[in-house]
């Protein structure tokens, strides 16, 4: 679990960095780091059979809003918003994140896993 929490903190730090869209190489490097960390988190979470570190992805317009689970309780999960791509967010969670019912998070991840097996 310590590896998962440390990787979550790395992802938060990278996602908090400001991006100037005119600096293509810098933006591309950030996306690659985020992708690597999200993939690492997903593998660690699956290996440890936990929701901690898994991503909730919501389709929005021509992109998606991504939230990462950073805390799990008996009835809910807490997620933080991942500043990624076009910076989409969803109503209710916005760019701060918040709590999602545990059953909703489990259902969403099961659905995602059906289509995006790794």
pLDDT value of residue 118: 56
Do 14 and 65 meet the contact criterion of CB atoms below 8 Å apart? no
* CA dist., res. 31 & res. 71, Å (int): 24
* pLDDT at 87 > cutoff 60: yes
pLDDT band at 107 (very low <50, low <70, confident <90, very high): very high
Task: Please give the Cα distance from 115 to 71 (Å, whole number).
Answer: 25
19-72 pLDDT per residue, tens:
777 888 888 888 899 999 999 999 999 999 999 999 999 999 888 899 999 999
The owner of tokens 């690597």 is 36
* Calpha distance 75→71 (Å, rounded): 11
Above 90 in pLDDT, residue 88?
no
Confidence of residue 17 (pLDDT cuts 50, 70, 90): confident
The CA distance from 77 to 58, in Å, is 16
């Amino acid at each position: 679990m310590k590896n998962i929490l440390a990787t979550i903190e790395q992802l938060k730090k990278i996602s908090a960095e400001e991006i100037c869209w005119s600096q293509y190489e810098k933006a591309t490097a950030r996306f690659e780091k985020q992708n690597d960390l999200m993939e690492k988190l997903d593998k660690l979470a699956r290996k440890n059979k936990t929701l901690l570190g898994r991503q909730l992805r919501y389709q929005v317009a021509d992109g998606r809003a991504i939230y990462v689970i950073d805390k799990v309780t008996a009835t809910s999960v807490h997620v933080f918003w991942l500043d990624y791509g076009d910076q989409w967010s969803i109503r209710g969670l916005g760019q701060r994140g918040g709590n999602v019912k545990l059953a909703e998070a489990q259902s969403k991840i099961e659905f995602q896993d059906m289509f995006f097996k790794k």
